[in-house]
Chain A
Amino acid sequence: SAVISQKPSRDICQRGTSLTIQCQVDSQVTMMFWYRQQPGQSLTLIATANQGSEATYESGFVIDKFPISRPNLTFSTLTVSNMSPEDSSIYLCSVGAGFINEQFFGPGTRLTVL
């Protein structure tokens, strides 16, 4: 499976600021996704990062709050904008191939907003 890295691994931020999380894969992948995992909770899909076009957001998530870029088949960023303490979570990128279903996860970014 692909090797997936995320930066930063963790951060502590002040409310009202923004943080950009990077996801890098060691091989080209068709599908890239961003998930949020709040403390003690499940994995909630934020959006599908589409290469060359706008991301597709799930209900409850909007582009102004979580802008996503995907400039190529190995890299994506998720920005958490105008942060509040409720945004404190682990953010995980996940990759898969379009013709098969398996997904693999990056190590996650642990975000704490004060």
Chain B
Amino acid sequence: GENVEQHPSTLSVQEGDSAVIKCTYSDSASNYFPWYKQELGKRPQLIIDIRSNVGEKKDQRIAVTLNKTAKHFSLHITETQPEDSAVYFCGANQAGTALIFGKGTTLSVSS
């Protein structure tokens, strides 16, 4: 089955800096790679995703890149703000199957 590794487990940045979180996956059949943001006491919320036929996707300050050959994908957050502080999870799956998640990254943005 799928196995997703995520690094780093914690990340501290200054407001305005960039943050990068990296994930690798094991199943070459996986074709969908989302990122979720989970604030304390809340449910995980989908913030951006990428499919295997695309190498990069951007939405305002966040972007995701995918390297299918190397089986890794990354989340990039630019111009970080204190409200970006949360736990971020990467996931992977193929259509019709459940998402498998990495262990999460706690991002702290200090002002």
Q: Measured between alpha carbons, how far is A108 from B45 in the docked complex, in Å?
A: 12
Task: Write out, one digit per residue, whether chain B residues 52-66 have a CB within 8 A of any chain A CB (1) or not (0).
Answer: 000000000000000
In the complex, the answer to whether A105 meets B43 with C-beta atoms within 8 Å is yes
Q: Quick check: B104 and A108 within 8 Å, CB to CB?
A: no
Write the nearest CB–CB distance from A6 to chain B, whole angstroms.
9
Chain A residues lying within 8 Å of B45, measured Cβ to Cβ, are 105
Q: Do A103 and B99 touch across chains, with their CB atoms under 8 A apart?
A: yes
Q: Is A48 an interface residue (CB 8 A)?
A: yes
Measured between beta carbons, the chain B residues less than 8 angstroms from A33 are 98-99
**Contact in complex: A101, B95 (CB < 8 Å):** yes
User: Which A residue sits closest to B104, measured CB to CB?
Assistant: A42
A84-108 toward B: CB 8 Å interface, digit per residue (1/0)? 0000000010101011111111111
Interface positions of A (Cβ within 8 A of B): 31, 33, 41-45, 48, 59, 92, 94, 96, 98-108
A-B contact pairs, 25 of them (CB 8 A): A41-B104, A42-B89, A42-B103, A42-B104, A43-B44, A44-B101, A45-B99, A45-B100, A48-B97, A48-B98, A94-B98, A98-B96, A99-B96, A100-B95, A101-B51, A101-B93, A101-B95, A101-B99, A102-B46, A103-B34, A103-B93, A104-B46, A105-B43, A105-B44, A106-B43
